[in-house]
Amino acid sequence: EKTGGAKQGSPSTSGLSPIVVKYLSHAAKAARGATIRCAPYLLEIIKQSLSWRVDSISRRKENKCNKDGKSSSEGITTKLVKLDENVLAALEKLITMLTDASIDSRNFDSFEFRKISIDVNDAVVRFLRDLFSVLEVTSVHKLILVYFSRFVIKEGKHWHDRDSKSTGLRCSWETTKLRLNAVTLFVRFPEFMKVNIPLMDSWKAWPDGSSVGST
């Protein structure tokens, strides 16, 4: 009897008592939505920082051109930049984590978490869309492919296709809506065709009678 009582009150393998583990688990579950809720602000800060750095480099080149006696129009033109491999890898990791958090099937057990996942997903897509004005097109394409790949890759995330018992939502339907929202945000980008036309010209399977340039 003493042995059984000792086992019942003994700490878990983590070294914490069962009561502490229970409350930590509850707190982590409650904080899950609050954690990704901050993602839009984080992405905006990153975008502003990248834009400031690109503008700073452009102004530095402009000042150098003026000192060398070159025409100011050469210095005013801001070229799209290519990120360092480490920075680009960090962005890929960030996009992966935020996308996985958005399509987590547990989000659809609560209408509040569902709203948060929609907001975060839209923020990620807008962030990627706005990068077309800062980074080289190939870099942005790579990040976009990373984003869309998370919808089809099952490894590394918590997702199950099921009907939620609390909300009645089908997880696969909700993730499809997130993808449709993403496509809509990309297509509504005014310069989408102009930016991507070099890539789209390489596609050979356009339907007869369609014109990329006139679409």
Distance, CA of 3 to CA of 23 (rounded, Å)? 26
Query: Which amino acid, one-letter code, is at 93?
Result: K
Distance, CA of 37 to CA of 43 (rounded, Å)? 11
Three-state DSSP state, 127: helix
Contact between 144 and 160 (Cβ < 8 Å): no
Retrieve residue 181's tokens.
Answer: 């929202």
Three-state DSSP state, 81: strand
Give the CA diameter of the chain. 92
* DSSP H or E segment with residue 153: none
The predicted structure's pLDDT at residue 136: 87
The predicted structure's pLDDT at residue 15: 62
pLDDT (tens digit, 0 to 9) for every residue of the chain, 215 residues total?
A: 444 444 444 445 556 677 777 766 666 555 555 567 788 899 999 999 988 888 888 788 777 777 766 654 444 455 788 888 998 999 999 999 899 888 888 888 888 888 888 999 999 999 999 898 888 888 998 999 999 999 888 776 666 777 777 788 888 888 889 999 998 888 887 676 666 655 555 555 545 544 444 44
The predicted structure's pLDDT at residue 193: 64
Q: What is the DSSP letter of 170?
A: B
Contact between 212 and 193 (Cβ < 8 Å): yes
Rg (CA), the chain: 24
Half-sphere exposure for 65 (CA within 13 Å, toward CB): 14
The predicted structure's pLDDT at residue 26: 63
Taking the model in full, what pTM does it have? Answer: 0.69
